[in-house]
Amino acid sequence: MKVLQIDKLHKDYGKLTAVHQLNLSIKAGTVFGLLGPNGSGKSTTLGMILGVTNPTSGSFKWFGERGNHKHRKRIGAILEKPNFYPTFSAVKNLQIVCKIKEVSTDRIDEMLTLVGLIERKNDSFKTYSLGMKQRLAIAAALLADPEVLILDEPTNGLDPKGISEIRQLIIDIAQSGKTIILASHLLDEVQKVCTEFAILQRGNKIYQGKVEDGFGDEAIVEMASRDLETLQLIIQNHPAYISERWLKDKLEVKFTLNTDMAELNKYCAEKGVYLTHLSEIKKSLEQQFMEILSENA
């Protein structure tokens, strides 16, 4: 089932185009990363699908229907920074969220425990550290047990400990089967928590795919045997072979995508070469991310 379907969504700010004819569809249960440098249109896109930014043109559907405020009650979302009433306690802030979403206040304590704020629950929001504010925002987003969770740069401004806590929280939530849309300029973050992702640059979607596939269209394999020269010779005849290069004591070979490692091992053995090392390596996503951005610059 498609949770979100975006059709030719477009936003202009005067002469500046923030989001350009964006198409995107997100299936239920996906942890979807929206990746792009600052100012690439991620937040504008989220703002539009959450009803706070008016699209110039285009449309979007939540749960198969034209998006409106009723759908937003089934979504938990934080945009950019945590927005709360500064003089209210955590509990009072969450009570307002419950009133808006029309759900009972039963889960407030549970959520505050989950994000580790239960002991500060009656302190006013303005006394919280940035990390605590961010965690309260996540508690608020989870409060109504939403089907979809939208997080915009959830680790922005946090210290390393805070970052890892939030990421673990996201991974835990994802395992409960919720759909998550995560916007981030940090590739590493997307790689660690997402299953699928799209890259935005200057409002254009320039790539979409699964995280496990990397961005490339080739598999990179490190191989070694007692006799590297023979290995090099036989490997060049493999049907999926693309190219190879020497590393210090092993070969780095490029094959077409989805080459089976077991099959590769068997192939070498049949040719009389026994491998001492076989490892499929993912090309650094960071490196590829930069490549994609520069290709489209």
Partner 1 sequence: MLRLLDIEFFKLRNTKYFWVLMGLFILFLFAMPIGFRVLLNYLTSIGENMMGWDIPANQMPFYDFVDIWQNLTWSYMNFSILLGFIMVISINNEYTYGTIKQNVIDGLSRSELLWSKLGFIMILSLVISVATFFVGLIFGFLYSPTQGWHYISLHLEFLPAYFLHLVVFQLFCLVISMLIKRPGITISILVFYIFVIEPIASVLLFYKYKLELLANILPMKAISNIVPMPWTKYAFKETQTTLALDDALIMGVWAVLLYLIARWILLKRDLA
C-alpha Rg value of the chain to the nearest Å:
23
- In whole angstroms, give the CA distance from residue 185 to residue 34: 8
- Crossing angle for the helix pair 228-235 and 261-270, to the nearest 10 degrees: 110
Cβ 150 to partner 1, closest distance in Å? 8
Please tell me the chain's helix, strand, coil percentages from 3-state DSSP, rounded to the nearest 5.
35, 30, 30
Cβ 65 to partner 1, closest distance in Å? 15
Nearest to 206 by CA among 83, 84, 295: 295
- In whole angstroms, give the CA distance from residue 17 to residue 284: 31
- In whole angstroms, give the CA distance from residue 51 to residue 114: 28
The nearer residue to partner 1, 69 or 245, going by C-beta atoms, is 69
The nearer residue to partner 1, 29 or 86, going by C-beta atoms, is 86
Cβ 28 to partner 1, closest distance in Å? 20
Span 48-107, contacts to partner 1 by CB under 8 A: 50-54, 68-70, 72-73, 75, 77-79, 81, 83-88, 92, 95-97, 99-102
State which H helix or E strand residue 43 sits in.
Answer: helix 42-49
The nearer residue to partner 1, 61 or 81, going by C-beta atoms, is 81
- CA distances 245 to 36, 223, 280, Å, are 32, 11, 15
Cβ 142 to partner 1, closest distance in Å? 12
Helix (H, G, I), strand (E, B) or coil at 46: helix
State which H helix or E strand residue 209 sits in.
Answer: strand 204-210
Cβ 221 to partner 1, closest distance in Å? 46
264 binds partner 1 (CB under 8 A): no
The nearer residue to partner 1, 125 or 215, going by C-beta atoms, is 125
- In whole angstroms, give the CA distance from residue 172 to residue 166: 10
The nearer residue to partner 1, 57 or 276, going by C-beta atoms, is 57
Q: Which two tokens stand for residue 289?
A: 């991310």
Q: Contact letters (x/-) for partner 1, 15-44, by CB under 8 A?
A: ----------------------------xx
Query: In angstroms, how far is CA 161 from the centroid of its own chain?
Result: 20
Using CB under 8 A as the binding criterion, the count of chain residues that bind partner 1 stands at 33
The nearer residue to partner 1, 31 or 140, going by C-beta atoms, is 140
Q: Residue 244 CB: number of other CB atoms within 10 A? A: 17
Cβ 153 to partner 1, closest distance in Å? 14
The nearer residue to partner 1, 106 or 249, going by C-beta atoms, is 106
Binding residues (CB under 8 A) for partner 1: these are 43-44, 47, 50-54, 68-70, 72-73, 75, 77-79, 81, 83-88, 92, 95-97, 99-102, 140
